[in-house]
Chains A and B, each alone.
Chain A
Amino acid sequence: MTVPSAFDRRTLLKGAGVSLALPFLESRRAIAGLMPQKPPVRMGFMYMPHGVIMDQFWPTSPETFLDSPPPAIESLRPVLNQCLMMKGISGVPISPFNGAPHALELSTWLTATLPDADTRSRINIAISADQIMANYVGAETLLPSLELATMPQTWKENQEGLHEAYYSHCSYRSPTQPVPAETDPRNVLNRLFGRQENVGTVTRTNPLDRQMLDRVLNGARDLRRTLGRTDQLKLDEYLDSVRAVERRIAAIEQRQQEAAFEKAGVRTANSGNSPAIEIRIPEGEKRSEYMQVMCDLTVLAFQTDTTRVSTYIGSTPNGVSYPELGFTNQHHSQTHHENREEMVSKVAAITKFNIDQFAYMVNKMASLQEGDGTLLDNCIMVWGSGLEDGNRHTRANLPFIVAGGGGGSLNTGRFLPDVSGNQGDLLTTLLSCAGVPQDRPIGIATKEISEIKA
């Protein structure tokens, strides 16, 4: 028996959205009869573990940043004037979990918070920056946020008694609710743009599904009353997630209606100037192809305003190798290089490889027109790692690259050699650039890093 799937392995899709014409943004404004307004700001995160080779990553000086960027970010050269690097962003101090640098580099990355020490064997941390933004802007789009990963999040390693999932998750919907990531590009494609019409298939936008879910929710509320306290909290997660699905179905219905309008000829002159994005589902095991299709999907999701928040765990802190680079050693083992030349060069190659994929995504965004500028002008794309030096597990200057204009909110094309702040400060600042109001700072944040703002 086969599962009907619109997207076979070798299929090459153009513009993938197909019936949902691109770009969506303009058409919706046209329907609303509004004058073109400022496009929304989108925010994307991409992660690599284990830190960088510092002298290959940090620019030598602010003056030379644009003309001779460091080797690690060479592939960003075409968009360097829309990039921002800053040194002096420190990580959350990880004591009392000193023996768990790798479990914490990822889980603290977007939370800027340590897991609660007394309940360490369960997940209890904090809502992450991407989910804070999704809560604020998610209702505007088909998907509140997109979470992607290259590897399944199944690594089990217990460090310092911490729950194993801290090793592989960075997005948290609430302190106790990690958000799992999609690892299959076909699923992402289906989720973003729905299956192509198959005769006889019941699609997820079955008109009665929403009302059916509504009744299931009512039943679940009855069940809730009969449960003990801890079970009630668990059921609340269920209620929350089903409500999100209901909202999503509503959004899909809305969009189908708008697509019908569009077919009827309601279109703006702006649409169609950008080339369609090709989505190629990779066939082999090549990591670069795999990561690039995930990047393409992110670009497409942003371009079509299907979501405004994306988090891509490009790699996790465990057993990852890069045979494509000509060696089989695991990333982690090479980062403990003790300055031995061969290992240093392997780590440098792995870092460059990861930044290359980020650059692939960002360069593509710069090639897509949106309004009077490009898609990248309206994005805040963040690449980073949860350690500075993987050899010694230091976190004094976390490596971050910010790319994109953030809708004019960021002052880019610069290297700031000496900002003083922490990862919470940076996340708080970036959310503020994206126009997300915050009722409290993120994690250990105490301020905004005003130097990076326009």
Chain B
Amino acid sequence: MRLPDTLSLLYSTLTSFAVAFTVSVTPPAGADEIPAAEAALQQEARTTFKEQVTPFVKKYCTRCHGSRPEAGINLDSALKDPGTTSAFQHFQKAVANVKVHDMPPQDAEQIPSQEERDQFVQAISKLKYMAPRDPGPFVMRRLNKVEYANTLHALYGVDRSVTESLPEEVGGEGYLNSISPLQSELYLEIANKVVQQVVSKDCNRPTRRQLQLFGSSPTRCDDPRHMARETARSLAREAYRRPATEAELDVLVDVFDLGTENQLDYTQAISLMWKAILVSPQFLFITPAAQPETQDSIIPLDDYQLASRLSYLLWSAPPDTQLAALADQGQLHHPEVLNAQIQRLLDDDRSRALYDGFGKQWLGVGGLDSQLFDPEIFPQMSPQLRAAMVAEPRLFFQSVVRDNESIFALLDSNYTFVNQPLAELYGLDHCIQGLQMRRVTLRNPNRGGILSMPATLASTSFSTRTSPVKRGVWVLEQILGERVPPPPPDVPELEEQEQASREGLTLRQLTALHQSEETCANCHRILDPIGFGMENFDAIGRWREQDELGVAIDSAGQLPTGEEFSSPAELKRVLAGRREDVARNLTTRLLAWAIGRQLEGYDEVIVDQLMLKIAADDYRVRTMIAEVISSYLFTHRRVKS
């Protein structure tokens, strides 16, 4: 709505008065404003902290973890400034150790009761409310190798292999958002190749793509510089994923001039200008459209950035015409428009990128392509079988997302995707022939879902045998989202015992050795029993009743919280009782992937809010994805510290 000028002036004066007035009694208004409910929680957290955390830490911890911090954990400074990121990290580590009775050490003067431990753990979970409301820094991000290849393909139709000389990289949390001379050099080389492939050498016979990108050549009456500028405008709109400013166009026309001054013909000079676009930071990075005129330190993303962030998350590709148009119209940030676009992108085949990027990394199956299996023990591990094992979780994940099933369908489901080699591994005696993957219904309750899928079972195994420890860590961390403290320093991991050297011991007995050493026992008491409950699956995910030595598998297992199980079917049943943890973990991981950093402090408050909404829609997976994308963390950025 547009107000008449005088009125609008009056209106803004009034509001600024109002703001100035409220500032004196409440926190600043605007984007930084803290909702009342959060403010109340913050107050409560302060009280809890003072009454419960501080006395506990002073009594049991600071003797060692004080100003001369043992193991680098300084709880003295964390007590002083509990809202900071480093305090948050220190307390997280403390909680992990206090929970498993690793701390305080057993020879400490005072040992807290179980009740005190529980209270401490509970109180620390409120720490997040003390962190300032903040979406975190959103540093402009360089396209990763996959995104860069997809972008060149989507915009110019060139084959993705044109980028193969770039170093491999990983996306999401842990992404290296840096650029080196090597990469810059390769970007230039690749830009040269793209030009070569698209632009015809014969100036009389331009390629179709070339005409589409460059338009026609100027005739005698046209002004070539003007035409070059308009070409630059349209090329840059796509390549920069936002309209170029006039100043940016000046730079590009300057490059065009450089070409013509050096006797390049029109097409060659345009090509040089296009190359300049392809090595510009505006193409290689997702850059904001313009720095807004605001004093706020936290602002919403502009629609162009939002469109890019969205399409690179779900497609690993640049915004398509529809997204670009919505950004141009300034419509995308409206919740209903954004949600409709999320659904549209998820419906599209390109959303496979969400599994190839996020899903694979979450499940920890990214290394399966090249993981070694001892050919003497697992002769059936053929390239065909391996390819099917790699494809299965992807098809399954995509299917759950496509049909908008619940998050828990990922854990337990009555169908999967197999071909002949994989069906044989499953022991399905249907007449499944050929290498084509197809959907099949599973009747065995021990199968179905990612916990009993060959890809994940194999990825958590050694080349010769299973690893109950790795499977235990996998369930705890990847599925339940718990933090497993790392092994203490200078204690060797008891990873792979040679059967020969400890003749006659079953794997369970061998692994039980962990628990005989005190330093290892605290954690392994928790890890090992989970993995043992999955021992009926061998190192490539086949069902078995006996181990390598011919001894019957003892698959009694237990979760740290005490629930017992002795088969994958029962494990799934037990995990169904941990729905909130499972859903929260997946949401947290997707959010961290989406914003490209670890979550901390205030982020947890946002996750709390998301979980309420996700639970209200029966934990549907698309709701989860949409909530992550619509969240404050994904849609805002801090522009000043």
Contacts and interface: CB of A to CB of B under 8 A. Distances in A.
Contact of A163 (B174, B372, B489): B174
A45 to B, nearest CB: 17
Contacts of B182: 147, 179-180, 182, 191
A119 B363 CA distance: 27
Nearest to B190: A3
A180 B167 contact: yes
Nearest to B492: A336
Interface in A195-236: 200-204, 206-209, 211-213, 215-216, 218-220, 222-223, 226-231, 233-235
B597 A121 contact: yes
Contacts of A178: 176, 178, 180
Nearest to A240: B181
A323 to B, nearest CB: 6
Interface stretch (A33-41, A72-80, A389-397): A389-397
Nearest to A343: B498
Contact of A191 (B185, B193, B600): B185
Given A230-B137, A231-B140, A234-B177, A220 B285 contact: no
Highest count of chain A CB atoms <10 Å: which of B164, B178, B361, B489: B178
A205 to B, nearest CB: 10
B492 A392 contact: yes
Given A152-B168, A163-B174, A328-B374, A118 B86 contact: yes
Nearest to B84: A118
A450 B355 CA distance: 55
B89 interface: yes
Interface in B58-72: 69, 71-72
A170 to B, nearest CB: 14
A340 interface: yes
Highest count of chain A CB atoms <10 Å: which of B177, B184, B197, B262: B184
Interface stretch (A23-31, A96-104, A399-407): A96-104
Contacts of B285: 234-235, 238
Highest count of chain A CB atoms <10 Å: which of B69, B275, B290, B487: B275
Given A98-B489, A101-B489, A319-B367, A180 B181 contact: no
A328 B464 contact: yes
A21 interface: no
Nearest to B600: A121
Nearest to B193: A3
Interface stretch (B246-254, B410-418, B528-536): B246-254
Interface stretch (B8-16, B276-284, B439-447): B276-284
B353 to A, nearest CB: 17
Given A159-B486, A222-B247, A97 B72 contact: yes
Nearest to A340: B501
B43 interface: no
Nearest to A346: B498
A220 B281 contact: yes
Given A208-B258, A234-B140, A242 B495 contact: no
Interface in A144-194: 144, 147, 152-154, 156, 158-161, 163-165, 173, 176-184, 187, 190-191
B176 A342 contact: no
Interface in B277-321: 279-282, 284-285, 287-288, 290-291
Given A218-B251, A219-B251, A330-B463, A98 B281 contact: no
Contacts of B407: none
Nearest to B477: A158
Contact of B598 (A121, A152, A190, A235): A121
A98 B192 CA distance: 47
Contacts of B195: 202
B562 interface: no
B501 A342 contact: yes
A328 B373 contact: yes
Interface in A233-269: 233-235, 237-238, 240-242, 244-245, 248
Contacts of B247: 219, 222
A329 interface: yes
Contact of B492 (A120, A123, A391): A391
Interface residues of B, number: 95
A329 B496 contact: yes
A423 interface: no
Interface in A84-125: 94-101, 117-118, 120-121, 123
A439 interface: no
A120 B588 CA distance: 20
Interface in A61-79: none
B622 to A, nearest CB: 26
B276 A215 contact: yes
A3 B165 CA distance: 11
A222 to B, nearest CB: 6
B4 interface: no
A342 B496 CA distance: 12
Nearest to A95: B72
A378 interface: no
Contacts of B371: 319
Nearest to A195: B189
7 contacts: A1-B197, A147-B182, A178-B180, A182-B167, A202-B196, A321-B463, A394-B490
Given A3-B161, A212-B258, A227-B288, 19 more contacts: A1-B161, A95-B489, A96-B71, A120-B89, A178-B178, A179-B182, A180-B182, A183-B167, A208-B258, A213-B279, A223-B248, A229-B640, A235-B140, A238-B184, A238-B285, A242-B184, A329-B464, A342-B498, A393-B492
Interface of A: 1, 3, 94-101, 117-118, 120-121, 123, 144, 147, 152-154, 156, 158-161, 163-165, 173, 176-184, 187, 190-191, 200-204, 206-209, 211-213, 215-216, 218-220, 222-223, 226-231, 233-235, 237-238, 240-242, 244-245, 248, 319, 321, 323, 328-330, 332-334, 336, 338, 340-343, 391-394
A-B pairs, 10 with minimum CB distance: A96-B72, A99-B486, A164-B174, A219-B251, A244-B181, A152-B168, A98-B489, A180-B167, A328-B463, A241-B184
